[in-house]
A and B are shown apart, each in its own frame.
Chain A
Amino acid sequence: MKKNRGKIIIILASIFLALYFLYPTYQSYMLTKKLQKLSGADSLQYVQDNDKEIRSIRSKRIKLGLDLQGGMRVVLEVNVLKMFEEMAKNKDDQFNAITADIAKEAATSDETLTSIFQKKFEEKGIRLSRYYGSLRETNDEIMKRLSDESEKAVDRAMEIVRNRVDQYGVSEPTIQKQGGRRIIVELPGVSNENDVRQLLQGTALLEFKLMKDPDIIYKTLAAIDKYLASQGFVDTASTKGGTAKTETGANAGTDTAKASENALASLDQADTTSSSQSVLPEGQKSPEEVKKEHPFLYLVRPNQQGSGDAYVSENDRATVDRILDQPDVQKLIPADMGFYWSSKPSFISGGVKYFDLLGLKKTPELTGGVIVDARATIDPNFNQPIVTMEMNSEGARDWARITGANVNKRIAIVLDNAVFSSPVVRGKITGGRSQIEGMENIDEARLLEIILKAGALPAPVDIIEQRSVGPSLGEDSIQAGMNSFTIALVLIVGFMLIYYRTGGAIANIALIFNVLFIFAILAAFGGTLTLPGIAGVVLTIGMAVDANVLIYERIREEMTTGKTLRAVIDAGYGKAFSAIFDSNITTFFSGVVLFQFGTGPVQGFALTLMMGVTANLFTAIVVTRVIFDVMTERGATSINFG
């Protein structure tokens, strides 16, 4: 007894610790049961009354992976290249060509984006100072600054994503950085994909932009139209536009033809008011002729009242975008003007949605940085969802000045380059209030509120991986996991008892401890239990007894030599140790590699596997040994090893 006192204390202490760490998980289980028994209102009351306690229990229990409890996992990648592009000044064709090249290489390469960025510019022999910083700076200096910026951007993006997720109200979300510019977001119990997409991806770049004079907008449209007609532009979008869309595309075609005459009439009106020379429709023409003469205005139909708006059917949006992107067309657009789409269709005609294309001043008058608070409500006058915003004092002062200077002009509220509304300024607005309209429902407004409050992302983020598991699949998985765990345990315990008798019983005690320790370590270190993780535990049950098998087989061999019980046990443990250690450590190694290279649920497997083999060394060797020693000390002269 004496020589084992230290070991016994360690064993008892670790069992006590294990139970301590597992107690919250047990509490949480009982709590769930209790809440299920209580009726709706009662359970809500109970949760409210015991909020703090419940939170503390939940934070300490074993976390279930998304594959077991349902939820979404999203991997975001901060688009550093986009950020660099936006930071550049004096962008020209060459810059665009190089960045396109970088994007292509970055899609497949292992290198960091910053090193590809520098490499590509140096390959072309172009100094970065042409686009960034001052002329005196070297490439390395500029790159260092850019990469600092990108690192900062990733950290800031993570902070903002965390803010948004917190405000969205997900319990126990996990947000972690992976590698240089990735953010892994895990949202248990969330299933609304579109919400999550918007929540995480919306850069929330809010801008207030002045609308250009309708005259200028219409002149520009007409100029583009004239240029395209002279180039013999033919719209091929409806024939190219994918098989799924052919049907609606054809419908829209005839519809567009009808509407285009109105559009041209309105253009005429606009042009006469501005007394500029322009194309005039010459009587009635067939749609094909109109299309040929006015290839652009056939797609983009200006508002008849001359408000400055122009409407494009949803099917033509991509074509119009393509046209506007052409360098030759860009030259026709005034340098300080840009075209922006409305966030929602302006109207629906013949089942086809029409979007508003607005010509706005490129430089914003004010940006979302001045917003201090946002609130989603229903506008009582029009019964539609709105988000009201409050600005800080500086923003309020600017806002008053801007609105005061632009009475009767239109200011567009642009979020992530989509125009949410473009009201006419009726008078000077003091107090720094503004509102956003154009949301489809209150949920969308609420989402916008969160995004505005949490702040703008410093760079756009791409969703590069998205996995979601429904709750019912999770329940099935838990059931399957529990079943296989129980059955495996019963079978192995039974086998050990039959095959090794007393020895088997002692090995079984060690096995139970092993399982206990795996779960306790999981709880203590905040590890996550996944379905493959349960498989890892089940597998550990099969592997854990192996150590004892090796020892017992050795003991059986030694027994034939006629040694005393104590000598036999000593020899059994002594000689089996190296094999046990070797086999556990190799399994542990594969667990380490797997944890390093795997993702999500598979990491859960690696985790339980590693814990299993580590705990195994302790339980199968130390715990069983102490039991045997105590037995021999108490005078046992023979132990049945089957």
Chain B
Amino acid sequence: MRLFKQTHIDFMGKRNIWYFISALTLVIGLLGVAFKGVTLGIDFLGGTELLVRFENPVQVTDVRAAVDKIGYTGSEIKTFGNANDISILTARQAEGSKIADDIRAGLTTQFPNDKFQVLKEDKIGPKIGAELRRNAVYAVIATLVIIMVYVGFRFKFIYGVAGVVALFHDVLVTLGFVVLFNGLSPHLNLEMSQDLMAAFLTLIGFSINDTVIVFDRIRENLKIHKTESLFVVINKSVNETLSRTVITSGTVLLVLIVLIIFGGEVNRGFAFTFFIGTISGTYSSIYVASAIVLDWTNRKNKKNALKAAAR
């Protein structure tokens, strides 16, 4: 079975349209980040989070009223997976387990007929929250730098830069989607947590793969077709690698769909983030990474030609 017979798609010819579409997606995503903001989870925010399971379904508004009543106004309260599970998150800090105890006591008095059990309880001190936030930023930067150095070392420097630009593109597009989709469904919790951070980092390591496959073929074809222009070589390379690019991403997307549906609440956010990132990564290996290499080289050649003419 073959998904793609010999294709001859003119990818590079239409790159300006795709540059525009990429830019548009990025702008929409970044506007989302600017206006809707990135919701921080307990890991990065610090505070206390309780996940409680009621015997009967409850209304979020009722729980909010109960939590407000004991004085923790402004807490974030939402369903977690199903109508019986409620997550209560407050950024406030107090000695010991006071906040959790207060919330527990408050829920017991406010819902006398609906028993509940605490499934999970997290308390993160302000220092840890700040530290994890900083670590997350360091981690993303470290990964990007490592990959840029590696790809630059394995290919030409410009390939490394183009690859990392593509990665930035993927991270930002994914971030935009994550922000826009956060809170749209009670089944999809996309606040920034360590799990989401894991998705972003893995994404950086994984989405470079498609780019490497295409670059690898470009390098090979450049040796074989020395007379052809870079434009033709890149188009040829992308076409030749198209089926493997799609299938390698496809198998990963397949397991991600499985994780989104069956993997449980914690893994759903992770899988969703990675899903968006993988699609973006496949796309960007063609229209961002390869296109940048083409445009950069063309410009450099033109400059060199001008210099030569001037002499």
Contact = CB atoms under 8 A, between A and B. Distances in A.
Chain A interface mostly = helix
Contacts of A108: 127, 130
B264 A593 contact: no
Nearest to B193: A602
A67 B132 CA distance: 19
Contacts of A492: 251, 254-255
Nearest to A501: B1
Interface stretch (A9-17, A156-164, A468-476): A468-476
B255 A542 contact: yes
Interface stretch (B54-62, B137-145, B287-295, B298-306): B137-145
Interface string B257-274: 011011110110011001
B255 A594 contact: no
Interface string B228-267: 0000000000001101100110011111101101111011
Contacts of B142: 593, 597
Contacts of A539: 202, 252, 255-256, 259, 274
A589 B124 contact: no
A249 interface: no
Interface stretch (B14-22, B27-35, B113-121, B173-181): B113-121
B117 A243 contact: no
A349 interface: no
Contacts, number: 222
Interface in B191-211: 194-195, 197-198, 201-202, 204-206, 208-209
A67 B51 CA distance: 13
Interface in A465-483: 465-470, 472-473, 476-477, 480-481, 483
B205 A535 contact: no
Given A473-B51, A587-B206, A593-B142, A598 B194 contact: yes
A465 B120 contact: no
A64 to B, nearest CB: 15
Contacts of B112: none
A590 interface: yes
B213 A579 contact: yes
A549 B263 CA distance: 25
Nearest to A67: B266
Across the A-B interface, the 4 shortest Cβ-Cβ residue pairs:
A590-B205, A480-B264, A542-B255, A583-B209
Given A463-B123, A543-B251, 6 more contacts: A491-B254, A539-B252, A539-B259, A543-B252, A590-B147, A594-B139
Interface of A: 67, 75, 107-108, 193-194, 197, 242-244, 462-470, 472-473, 476-477, 480-481, 483-484, 487-488, 491-492, 495, 498-499, 531-532, 534-535, 538-539, 541-543, 545-546, 549-550, 553, 556-557, 575, 578-579, 582-583, 585-591, 593-594, 596-602, 605-606, 609, 642
16 contacts: A108-B130, A244-B70, A463-B125, A472-B117, A480-B267, A488-B258, A532-B198, A542-B254, A543-B206, A546-B252, A579-B216, A590-B206, A594-B139, A600-B194, A609-B202, A642-B2
